[in-house]
Amino acid sequence: MAPVGEFYFAKWKQMLAIHLDGAFLTTHATLREMYKTAEAVAYLYGFSAFQRSIGAKAPYVTAKHGLIGPANVVGKEGAKDGVGADVTCPEFVRTPLVQSNESLARVRWRRRA
Protein backbone atom coordinates (compact mmCIF):
# COMPACT_ATOMS: atom_id res chain seq x y z
CA MET A 1 0.00 0.00 0.00
CA ALA A 2 0.98 3.61 -0.37
CA PRO A 3 -0.16 7.07 0.71
CA VAL A 4 -3.17 8.37 -1.23
CA GLY A 5 -1.08 10.79 -3.27
CA GLU A 6 1.14 7.96 -4.49
CA PHE A 7 -1.51 5.28 -5.01
CA TYR A 8 -2.31 4.18 -8.57
CA PHE A 9 -5.99 4.42 -9.55
CA ALA A 10 -5.97 0.95 -11.16
CA LYS A 11 -4.78 -0.57 -7.89
CA TRP A 12 -7.44 1.45 -5.99
CA LYS A 13 -10.16 -0.01 -8.23
CA GLN A 14 -8.75 -3.51 -7.83
CA MET A 15 -8.80 -3.30 -4.03
CA LEU A 16 -12.38 -2.00 -3.98
CA ALA A 17 -13.46 -4.73 -6.40
CA ILE A 18 -11.93 -7.46 -4.26
CA HIS A 19 -13.52 -6.28 -1.03
CA LEU A 20 -16.82 -4.71 -2.12
CA ASP A 21 -17.70 -6.82 -5.15
CA GLY A 22 -16.83 -9.98 -3.25
CA ALA A 23 -19.13 -9.03 -0.37
CA PHE A 24 -21.93 -8.13 -2.79
CA LEU A 25 -21.64 -11.34 -4.80
CA THR A 26 -21.55 -13.54 -1.70
CA THR A 27 -24.53 -11.78 -0.11
CA HIS A 28 -26.48 -11.81 -3.37
CA ALA A 29 -25.88 -15.54 -3.83
CA THR A 30 -27.18 -16.40 -0.35
CA LEU A 31 -30.20 -14.10 -0.04
CA ARG A 32 -32.72 -16.44 -1.71
CA GLU A 33 -31.97 -19.18 0.77
CA MET A 34 -32.00 -16.70 3.62
CA TYR A 35 -35.50 -15.53 2.67
CA LYS A 36 -36.70 -19.15 2.59
CA THR A 37 -35.50 -19.86 6.12
CA ALA A 38 -36.28 -16.44 7.65
CA GLU A 39 -34.50 -15.27 10.78
CA ALA A 40 -31.19 -15.33 8.92
CA VAL A 41 -28.36 -12.83 9.14
CA ALA A 42 -25.71 -12.04 6.54
CA TYR A 43 -22.45 -11.25 8.27
CA LEU A 44 -20.09 -9.08 6.28
CA TYR A 45 -16.57 -9.03 7.63
CA GLY A 46 -15.22 -5.55 7.99
CA PHE A 47 -12.30 -4.62 10.12
CA SER A 48 -11.79 -2.16 12.90
CA ALA A 49 -9.96 -0.05 10.30
CA PHE A 50 -13.24 1.46 9.19
CA GLN A 51 -13.65 2.97 12.65
CA ARG A 52 -10.29 4.71 12.53
CA SER A 53 -7.74 5.50 9.88
CA ILE A 54 -4.61 3.53 9.19
CA GLY A 55 -1.93 5.34 7.23
CA ALA A 56 -1.16 4.19 3.70
CA LYS A 57 -4.23 1.94 3.59
CA ALA A 58 -6.87 4.21 2.02
CA PRO A 59 -8.44 1.66 -0.38
CA TYR A 60 -8.65 -1.01 2.31
CA VAL A 61 -10.20 1.33 4.89
CA THR A 62 -12.59 2.69 2.24
CA ALA A 63 -13.70 -0.78 1.19
CA LYS A 64 -14.28 -1.95 4.74
CA HIS A 65 -16.23 1.22 5.51
CA GLY A 66 -18.22 0.60 2.32
CA LEU A 67 -19.70 -2.61 3.74
CA ILE A 68 -21.91 -0.66 6.13
CA GLY A 69 -24.20 0.66 3.38
CA PRO A 70 -25.11 -2.68 1.82
CA ALA A 71 -25.56 -4.26 5.25
CA ASN A 72 -27.99 -1.50 6.23
CA VAL A 73 -29.94 -1.89 2.99
CA VAL A 74 -30.17 -5.69 3.30
CA GLY A 75 -31.38 -5.21 6.87
CA LYS A 76 -34.08 -2.74 5.82
CA GLU A 77 -35.20 -4.81 2.83
CA GLY A 78 -35.26 -8.08 4.74
CA ALA A 79 -36.66 -6.93 8.10
CA LYS A 80 -40.25 -7.90 7.31
CA ASP A 81 -39.07 -11.41 6.36
CA GLY A 82 -36.73 -11.94 9.32
CA VAL A 83 -33.57 -11.41 7.26
CA GLY A 84 -30.87 -9.03 8.43
CA ALA A 85 -27.26 -8.14 7.92
CA ASP A 86 -24.43 -7.00 10.14
CA VAL A 87 -20.84 -5.92 9.69
CA THR A 88 -18.53 -7.70 12.10
CA CYS A 89 -15.34 -5.80 12.77
CA PRO A 90 -12.63 -7.89 14.41
CA GLU A 91 -9.63 -6.19 15.98
CA PHE A 92 -5.97 -6.78 15.33
CA VAL A 93 -4.52 -10.05 16.49
CA ARG A 94 -0.93 -9.73 17.59
CA THR A 95 0.97 -11.97 15.20
CA PRO A 96 4.51 -11.80 13.81
CA LEU A 97 3.07 -10.24 10.63
CA VAL A 98 1.40 -7.44 12.59
CA GLN A 99 4.46 -6.92 14.74
CA SER A 100 6.65 -6.64 11.64
CA ASN A 101 4.49 -3.86 10.24
CA GLU A 102 5.32 -0.91 12.46
CA SER A 103 2.43 1.27 11.30
CA LEU A 104 -0.16 -1.39 12.17
CA ALA A 105 1.45 -2.16 15.50
CA ARG A 106 1.62 1.54 16.46
CA VAL A 107 -2.10 2.04 15.75
CA ARG A 108 -3.07 -1.01 17.80
CA TRP A 109 -0.91 -0.46 20.81
CA ARG A 110 -1.35 3.32 20.98
CA ARG A 111 -5.14 2.78 21.02
CA ARG A 112 -4.86 0.42 23.99
CA ALA A 113 -3.04 2.94 26.16
Positions marked active-site = 60
Q: CA 40 to CA 88: how far, in whole Å?
A: 15
Which amino acid does the sequence have at 39? E
CB within 8 A of 75, min separation 6: which ones? 84, 85, 86
